[in-house]
A = this chain, B = another copy of it.
């Protein structure tokens, strides 16, 4: 049992990485399902629209979902614009505080959409469909081949043999898509590593202190949950007794609204 505990401890300690891995795997799996079951390139002048929608809109939806399930977004926003009290502190300070919280939240929310785009580019079917309808790509490929080439171009994703006919010199659309995908992943990783490095470098506290604060925050949250439950039970019991026995409610010590605001 002791060893099992250690394994679970390992999971909990690395839960951020494990969580991201699971989210990425789920995204990749759903991308696989969509591109093989639902996606059918129309192979006419609407290729560009159809392909782009499958590439971008699901990523956008995943991005919004990422914001929604993040508790810190709500902790920041809840009660931040109360109708009675507005702009008591300087707007500049508020703006800075928002940015400091929104940047990591945005970074976390971007994991799933970027995975979607990267996997979709590596699988190449969405990009192939979109690019075959794009006038920029068409002009590049059919530079001096006449109008016939333009018409064949949009049929490309539906007919594998056409690819060889049109252009043996130009890089195939699927290969383009995969190259873009790889470079996208590489640049995202680089940016992520560098930005984490910088943010860590400039932090005023050392590694172990940061560790301690993380542990403290977790403990505090757990204790808050327990204390709040106790407090709520007491309050509810008193109110219930008042109701059924029709006595006046006894005065009960409860934190004021002002206190709550400071704690959050």
A residues lining the B interface (CB < 8 Å): 3, 5-6, 8, 12, 17, 38, 40, 42, 44-46, 49-50, 53-54, 57-58, 60-61, 64-65, 67-69, 74-84, 122-124, 168-172, 174-175, 178-179, 182-183, 185-186, 189-190, 192-193, 196-197, 200-212, 215-216, 218-220, 222-225, 227-229, 231-233, 235-237, 239-240, 243-246, 253, 255, 257, 259-261, 263-264
Contacts and interface: CB of A to CB of B under 8 A. Distances in A.
A204 B257 contact: yes
Given A60-B186, A219-B236, 15 more contacts: A3-B12, A61-B185, A65-B189, A74-B207, A77-B200, A78-B207, A80-B201, A83-B204, A204-B257, A215-B228, A216-B236, A223-B237, A223-B240, A243-B259, A244-B255
Nearest to A174: B40
Given A200-B77, A206-B78, A207-B78, A245 B253 contact: yes
Given A67-B193, A175-B42, A189-B64, A208 B53 contact: no
Number of copies: 3
B255 A50 contact: no
